[in-house]
């Protein structure tokens, strides 16, 4: 069985999180992904590499996760010879993905216009904070900057005085996910036109896109939404509730769910026709939440989850990582996989969420050592002989 993107070759110039995450997904889907690193290695190689809790044999959690299924070639792109090697790779590749700051690809002569002269069918993708054009594309941006600029932080948290970023880095991860969509769209279009093009991904654009219907609500009302914790701006009860063993969520989004919950918890204050529809429940939402917390606190989470599920009321435990990562559904879906180290040891990490019915081979090779594949890629793919490779190493062009 082959993977869906088998036959596609990607040159991965990314670093940190947003770009490497997108390239990782493409690699998981079968694209031959050659990580082109500077001679000192991509920056995340150093992150947590010596942390006793978050590293494995000198490789930190970032690098070992984000660079599975990739090869490593170390080239000095700032040298004339190194750039020539990169252009040779571009001639035999389909996609070049990077997340340098705006303007850097042009300075390095690895932007779309430069690479299209080398290979007219090449697709380039950049993931930047603000995109490649407009009045202010050159501002530096990282995950929290994107979350703040995009508006999402203003509605996250419990009140307007304490804006909070999302617990997972959705600014970075959103950029990586949209990069995958853009690259795959460009590949499909190329089958029709035979031409490459540039995919311009802005982390800010991605955050604005994910505001979705809430942005439309703002334009309709003219009102800025505010943080409401884990509750909902329309549905009641819809919140996090404390049991005597932890927290669960209940999401009553229809009146039928409310009636089922009413029968289950047997709270006398709920026996009011006013609450049969949403407007009445919304009016007294604080009381409803308070009474639910009183009753739910009398039993543990498992007790209530079984009762709620039996009544088909949407609910879930608020899992810690240790609980989420051993969930039987998560394990069944192969969403916890073995992450190998090139030295032979291994740990575990998240799997690939894209499941295909026919080409769903799920294999994961170890994140590579620096320049681990330089000789093989230059020799087998570019037909460089051993003497050329040795000379390039002596000149400090490759590792």
Residue 33 and residue 55 in contact, taking contact as beta carbons nearer than 8 Å: no
Judged on CB neighbours under 10 Å (0-12, 13-18, 19+), 25 is buried
Contacts of 110 (CB under 8 A, 6+ apart): 13, 77, 83, 86, 96, 98
d(CA 181, CA 355): 15
**Cα–Cα separations (whole angstroms), residue 242 to 52, 118, 282, 308, 350:** 34, 61, 20, 14, 28
Tell me the three state secondary structure of residue 59: strand
Q: Which residue among the candidates 12, 94, 143, 172 is catalytic per the annotation?
A: 172
d(CA 232, CA 238): 6
**Cα–Cα separations (whole angstroms), residue 40 to 37, 69, 397, 398:** 8, 21, 12, 10
Residue 113 and residue 28 in contact, taking contact as beta carbons nearer than 8 Å: no
d(CA 170, CA 229): 18
| Closest C-alpha among 153, 147, 137 to residue 175 | 147
172 belongs to the catalytic site: yes
d(CA 313, CA 264): 10
| Closest C-alpha among 177, 180, 172 to residue 62 | 172
Q: Catalytic residues, which ones?
A: 172
């Amino acid at each position: 069985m082959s993977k869906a993107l088998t036959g596609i070759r990607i040159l991965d110039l990314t670093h940190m999180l947003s770009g490497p995450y997108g390239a990782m997904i493409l690699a998981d889907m079968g694209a031959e992904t050659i990580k082109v690193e500077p001679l000192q290695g991509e920056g995340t190689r150093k992150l947590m590499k010596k942390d006793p809790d978050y590293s494995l044999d000198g490789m930190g959690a970032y690098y070992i996760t984000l660079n599975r299924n990739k090869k490593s070639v170390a080239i000095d792109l700032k040298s004339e010879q190194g750039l020539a090697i990169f252009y040779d790779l571009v001639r035999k590749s389909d996609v070049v993905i990077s997340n340098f700051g705006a303007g850097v690809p042009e300075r390095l002569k690895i932007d779309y216009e430069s690479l299209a002269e080398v290979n007219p069918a090449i697709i380039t993708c950049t993931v930047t904070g603000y995109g490649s054009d407009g009045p202010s594309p050159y501002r530096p941006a990282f995950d929290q900057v994107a979350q703040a600029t995009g508006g999402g932080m203003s509605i996250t948290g419990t009140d307007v005085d304490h804006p909070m970023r999302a617990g997972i880095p959705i600014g970075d991860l959103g950029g990586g996910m949209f990069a995958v969509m853009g690259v795959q769209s460009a590949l499909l279009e190329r089958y029709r036109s035979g031409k490459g093009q540039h995919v311009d991904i802005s982390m800010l654009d991605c955050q604005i896109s994910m505001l979705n219907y809430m942005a439309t609500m703002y334009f309709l009302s003219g009102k800025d939404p505010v943080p409401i914790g884990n509750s909902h701006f329309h549905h009641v009860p819809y919140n996090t509730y404390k049991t005597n063993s932890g927290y669960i969520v209940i999401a009553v989004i229809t009146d039928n769910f409310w009636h089922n919950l009413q029968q289950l918890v047997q709270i006398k204050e709920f026996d009011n026709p006013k609450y049969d529809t949403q407007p009445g429940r919304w009016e007294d939402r604080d009381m409803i939440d308070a009474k639910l917390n009183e009753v739910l606190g009398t039993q543990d989470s498992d007790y209530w989850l079984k009762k709620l599920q039996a009544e088909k009321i949407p609910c879930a435990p608020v899992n810690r990582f240790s609980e989420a990562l051993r969930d039987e559904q998560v394990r069944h879906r192969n969403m916890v996989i073995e992450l190998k180290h090139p030295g032979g040891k291994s740990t575990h990490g998240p799997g690939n969420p894209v499941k295909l019915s026919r080409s769903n081979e799920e294999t994961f090779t170890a994140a590579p050592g620096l320049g681990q594949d330089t000789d093989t890629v230059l020799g087998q793919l570019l037909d460089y002989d051993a003497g050329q490779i040795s000379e390039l190493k002596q000149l400090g062009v490759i590792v």
